[in-house]
Amino acid sequence: MADSRSEVAERYAEALFELALEEGALETAEADMKEIGAALEQSDDLRRLVESPVFDRDVIADALSVVLEQAGASLTVKNFVKLLARNGRASALAGVVAAFAARAADHRGEVSAEAVSAAPLSADQEKSLRQQIEAKVGKSVVLTTRTDASLLGGLVVKVGSKMIDSSLRTKLNRLQQSLKEA
């Protein structure tokens, strides 16, 4: 199910990207989609609404229209999200937001990377990490960071579909597993 949902998200994101590019409104669409992503992250009610199969498609479309109107979203994005909801694909909205951001970044020659650490990274550490990733991928990197104390130490870096997990938690889990097998 997750694979088909991500395929759906990719297709819809590509359609919006092509439309926004054709209209010369890529930056506006990207900003609007970021707003939608932020709203989904911040509002449990909104997230439950779009992910629930219980609500009627028109109810979801109308609710999203109100949210987009209040956010001042462009007509292109409003119509796109309405279409998504009316086609019964509102549950893929978060995936569409992520896929659209990745597609827009790729168009600019950028790649998105996420670094998760046990403690906040300093500005120098972020800069160094960004430079190391840029050297590996050969593109400009947009780095987002967040903390997760459960890592205990180290980093988990995600670049596209690749993940490098050098967290202390993972190393301890591997050690524990190898001790069980011995």
Q: Is the pLDDT of residue 181 over 60?
A: yes
CB-based contact 32:60 (threshold 8 Å): no
End-to-end CA, the chain: 37
Which residues, in sequence order, are bridge partners of residue 159? 113, 162
Q: Residues 117-147: pLDDT tens digits?
A: 999 999 999 999 999 999 999 999 989 899 9
Query: How far is Cα 168 from Cα 119, in angstroms, rounded to an integer?
Result: 12
User: What is the spatial distance between Cα 122 and Cα 3, in angstroms, rounded to a whole number?
Assistant: 36
Cα–Cα distance measured from residue 110 to residue 103, given in angstroms and rounded to the nearest whole number = 9
Cite the residue boundaries of each domain of the chain with CATH code 1.10.520.20: 2-106
The per-residue pLDDT for 161 is 79
Taking only the tens place, the pLDDT of each residue in 16-44 is 999 999 999 999 999 999 999 999 989 99
* Residue 101 backbone phi and psi in degrees, to 5: -60, -40
Interhelix angle 26-42/75-86, rounded to 10 degrees, is: 50
DSSP 116-164: EESSPPPHHHHHHHHHHHHHHHSSEEEEEEEE-GGG-SSEEEEETTEEE
CATH topology of domain 2-106: Peroxidase; domain 1 (1.10.520)
Query: Where does the chain hold its CATH 3.40.30 domain(s)?
Result: 109-181
Number of H helices, E strands in the chain: 8, 4
The rounded distance, in Å, linking the Cα atoms of 29 and 73 is 8
CATH class of this structure's domain 109-181 = alpha beta
pLDDT of 12 > 60? The answer is yes
Task: Dump pLDDT digits (tens) for 160-171.
Answer: 779 999 999 999
